[in-house]
Structure 1
């Protein structure tokens, strides 16, 4: 049980800026990364609470975006920007990977960031109940990262490849069980079906695209998957509910 809580603390230290005392060994995170959706519950609930503090949908949606950006330390957003550069790069696979992993941000990254933020904000304005939508979206987004960490083929050695080396085939199933409490949210059956479809489309689309263009997955793609899956879920709920 002590190892479980150490792993949970390590996961929160890795994914958020929450002050949790002394740094825990990275291996504690990798051994149980199927717990990642618990971070989604935490961040989603913070966003939901922030959204209820404001009287208008516009301010509520903006508060959600601000909270998840800050709590994640803009790390997933940084991955999205890097992915945008990689997707817009021309030439060989090597050039695309260089653009993906480069420290500098180009026009492709800026455009990707702007589009995702605008669409996320607009989607939140269109859902029937922002608190439920943002919690469901955050948990689902975190589950997509578990899928990438489990099934992704690393492009090169690094944090992603090291974490992937600890993956077990049962991780996605354990992680899915952790996600099941979102079924208690005030979302219609059609809404839950839309969430499942959005997850499948966002994961499979990005997975196939990354393997085709980059030859595999890295931490930037995994981080970007959080932003993209969240967006897809919110848009799906806005359309269906």
Structure 2
């Protein structure tokens, strides 16, 4: 059960048993349970959606967004902000890699973060199905394993590098119910995340980092919400 608890402890703020020192191969094994961690996040969102039914749309969307950020510890939002400053910079790839490690927030991070949170709030305010809220986090956390396997690590160190070449076939099995429940949303999420990953890899000299993986999840979830609204 250690890989499962590692995935939950890494991707969520839910309590886990003490895990001690983590070996690189365990981080790779934990990727198989990324969709399972997504279902846990989705279960919280579905419960909050049910409890807030009947509230004004804007207030309900804000509560759902707050619950989403709380369940993930803003892990993916942090990656989005760091990646925005680096990827949108006009500097060369080596300098963009340095910017990924900069803890300060620049204008690109502020602008992208504001727009993404605003759009996500608006999409949640429209009252998406609780079943979609259960499934979408699992879809995005499965989809991120594909660029993790297709593109090399931009940095030799870090959790992103240690999680590469993960156990995506088992992850696919776990994510299959979510993929089949919302096939068009899932397809758009997967394709959109792969296209964003290809663009990001080009901006970083060919590889991806942990911050970019987080940005892909955040943007993939937003894309899934918007496609669901359109459909």
Instruction: Tell me the TM-score normalized by structure 1.
Output: 0.86
Question: How many aligned residue pairs are there?
Answer: 225
Instruction: Tell me the TM-score normalized by structure 2.
Output: 0.89
> Residues 10 and 25 of structure 1 are in contact (CA less than 8 Å); yes or no, is this contact kept in structure 2?
no
Q: CA deviation at 1:175?
A: 1.4
Q: CA deviation at 1:195?
A: 2.7
Over the aligned positions, Cα root-mean-square deviation in angstroms equals: 1.8
Runs of 5+ consecutive residues of structure 1 not aligned to the other structure = 186-190
1-structure distance, mates of 2:129, 2:20: 34
Aligned to 2:218: 227
Q: CA deviation at 1:209?
A: 0.9
Q: How does 1:154-173 map to 2 (within 5 A)?
A: 154-158=153-157, 159-164=159-164, 167=165, 171-173=167-169
> Residues 139 and 178 of structure 2 are in contact (CA less than 8 Å); yes or no, is this contact kept in structure 1?
no
Runs of 5+ consecutive residues of structure 2 not aligned to the other structure = none
2-structure distance, mates of 1:212, 1:44: 32
- Tell me, yes or no, if structure 1 residue 203 matches structure 2 residue 193: yes
Q: CA deviation at 1:24?
A: 4.1
1-structure distance, mates of 2:16, 2:199: 36
Q: CA deviation at 1:184?
A: 7.2
Aligned to 1:239: 230
Aligned to 2:10: 14
2-structure distance, mates of 1:40, 1:225: 14
1-structure distance, mates of 2:14, 2:124: 25
2-structure distance, mates of 1:223, 1:48: 22
Distance 1:30 1:198, change over 3 A: closer
- The structure 1 segments of at least 4 consecutive aligned residues displaced by more than 6 Å after TM superposition are none
